[in-house]
Structure 1
Amino acid sequence: MTESRSALLRLVEALKQRGYHFVTPTPATHARVVARADRSEARDLVDILGWSLPFAPSRIDAALLALLEAGEALEAADDGLLRSRFRVSSLKDDLYLHSAYPTEAGDSVFFGPDSYRFADLIEAELAIARLPSGAAIVDIGTGAGVGALVAAKLCPDATVWMTDVNPAALRLAAINAEAAGAPIRAVESTTLDAIARPIDLALANPPYIIDDDARTYRDGGGMLGGQVSVDMARMAMHRLKSGGRLILYTGSAIVRGADLLGRALAALAGAEGCDLRYREIDPDVFGEELERPAYAEVDRIAVVAAIFTKR
């Protein structure tokens, strides 16, 4: 284990011991909050590691500051202040390291309201039908590791993998999993070839927004942001065992009342020999995106759940 990884792991553990808690909002809400006149500089730990505000070293105790330094998590801000390169967010009983606000870099590790809804969806679906003992679970495009970690804690005898194309994401996800005491295997790959076993449960929370900069963590590709969701679903369904499930949490751009992604996923399920349960979880998210030319014909962006079961 590298010194920086060990330091970040100890940072998460120390924050747990201190009862640290922060719920990450949408980027639009985050921007509005930190634009307030009294938010130009951090006043406490939540401002530093939640709201990503610049801070004076005296605002944080020496032990945590040393861990941030050893974890290569600090960068210089204006007027001699410092800023954390990471945020730490709460979800259920665990803490997650992810990228600081704003997430502008191409290899940013995103975490937000979708993470909470995705976790709740997994929990609800596993309550409906438990997995067999020793199940194989794969979280595709894991990001900060939410899907893998939630599933691993709900199914402690399962073998769990998390995959991503972003090594920065896998690094933080591995730290998050270890801090939570969840044994999860990390695989950097665009495919599922490294998982030799048939899959009992695949999880996916792909990006679904059109991103002008084509940042991997945010860009859902063609179909008004739905293409990555279709591609991930197809890849997962090819590897599901009979009775295996894919829990897909994503967003769909609704055009003149039509859910084009829903239609595409239904057709894909039929072609791949899967039954599909599909529903809207939230009818309207990221409304600010509709002001962009790419969404000129879109009524709204809905968050959807697509549950595929292999026949």
Structure 2
Amino acid sequence: MMTRTDAALVQLVEALRRRDYRFVTPTPATHARVLARPDRGAARDLEDVLGWSLPFAASLVDAELLGLLEAGGALAATADGMYRSRFRVSRLKDALYLHSAYPTDAADSVFFGPDSYRFADLIEAELGGAPTPPGAVIVDIGTGSGVGALVAAKLCPGAGVWMTDVNPAALRLAAINAAAAGVPVRAVESPTLDAIAEPIDLALANPPYIIDHGARTYRDGGGMLGGQVSVDMAAMAARRLASGGRLILYTGSAIVRGEDPLGAALAALAHAEGCDLRYRELDPDIFGEELDQPAYAEVDRIALVAAIFTKR
């Protein structure tokens, strides 16, 4: 049962869609550079309020939106009598997604960014060539703001769609985003797939893959230079795939002296679990600024990769 607060946030997303709101979320580094400009101290329009997370005067936002922000618990007062939104809203294809305001410093921040757009494109490309069977079971593992689940659900009408995450804040916003998009989903707060009894026809995962000194769940990929969470998620999903079922894994891999340890680990996993694997680099060099950190002292580059497991 959705609370009144969450229902107000659903209405907020719907109201923004009627206004043709179109903010696209950049990387945190780009966001910081834009906000450092001398003319970006306060919001000038709706995208500044709900996209760039700038402080704003109440008079800048129309009465309907201001009321929904207040009813949804999204308003935070500043010391100088202005407000900030506790959330951002971003457009991806034909849907709007509620996620954490900038900066995403909290341990339970709900991620959305360029990876979300590329993950959605990968899902579309894979399902366009090979759709799921009627009544398929789809699971978005570590759903975050719900991008994988919502994109797949719209491409697979009639499928049963599940979202899992260990972060209750993420599941809350993902459920709100699903309701605003009119997509029926089931959300489970769990680090496992135990709540899903049926074999899985399509598993989706966009795990964290950066070494994060703060060990924030949404960002920290764990050991193996940030690849361990990806391997763990892939193993969990591969064991539950139906015959012919697929895992679409979108992640990053730290390349060391020309070698790809994550790729090798995923290939070994696929062999052990009776899966065929298609593995490729989507982008050879992302998050280059991370290489300044001591944990990456031996890393040449971080590559963006897609790993598609298909159960034999």
CA distance in 2, matches of 1:299, 1:305: 19
Shift in Å at residue 77 of structure 1?
A: 2.2
2:22 corresponding residue in structure 1:
21
Alpha-carbon distance in 1 for matches of 2:100, 2:277 = 34
In structure 1, what residue type is equivalent to 2:292? E
Q: Which residue of 1 aligns with 2:264?
A: 263
Q: Give the corresponding residue for 2:103.
A: 102
Unaligned segments of structure 2, at least 5 residues: none
Please say if 1:308 is aligned against 2:306.
no
Cα distance, 1:78 vs. partner? Answer: 3.7
- What SS does structure 2 have at the residue aligned with 1:298? coil
Distance 2:200 2:162 in 1: 10
TM-fit CA distance, 1:69? 0.6
Residue type of the alignment partner of 1:183 = P
SS in 1 for 2:300: strand
Structure 1 distance, partners of 2:160, 2:21, is 30
Q: Which residues of structure 1 form unaligned runs of 5+?
A: none
CA–CA separation in structure 1 for the residues paired with 2:303 and 2:75: 36
**2:139 aligned with 1:124, yes or no?**
no
Q: Over residues 164-193 of structure 1, what are the superposed CA-to-partner deviations in whole Å (9 max), with x where a residue is unaligned? A: 001100010001011111111111101000
Provide the C-alpha distance between the structure 1 equivalents of 2:227 and 2:181, rounded to a whole number of angstroms.
32
Separation of aligned partners in 1, 2:303 and 2:27: 15
Three-state SS of the structure 2 residue aligned to 1:279 is: strand
1:147 Cα deviation (Å)?
Answer: 0.2
The number of aligned residues is: 311
Residue in structure 1 matched with residue 91 of structure 2 by the alignment: 90
Partner of 2:33: 32
Partner of 2:251: 250
Q: CA deviation at 1:256?
A: 1.0
| Displaced runs of 4 or more, over 3 A | none
Cα deviation, residue 128, structure 1 = 1.4
Counterpart code for 2:168: P
> Does residue 140 of the first structure (1) align with residue 141 of the second (2)?
yes
Residue 210 of structure 1: aligned partner: 211
SS in 1 for 2:88: strand
CA shift at 1:39, angstroms? 0.3
Q: In structure 1, how many angstroms separate the alpha carbons of the residues matched to 2:211 and 2:190?
A: 23
SS for the counterpart of 1:119 is helix
Match of 1:284 in 2: 285
Q: 1:119 to 1:230 in 2, by over 3 A?
A: same
Q: Deviations over 1:129-180 (max 9, x none)?
A: 1111000000000000000000000001100000000110001000101111
Q: Could you tell me which residue of structure 1 aligns to residue 53 of structure 2?
A: 52
Q: For residue 9 of structure 1, what is the aligned residue in structure 2?
A: 10
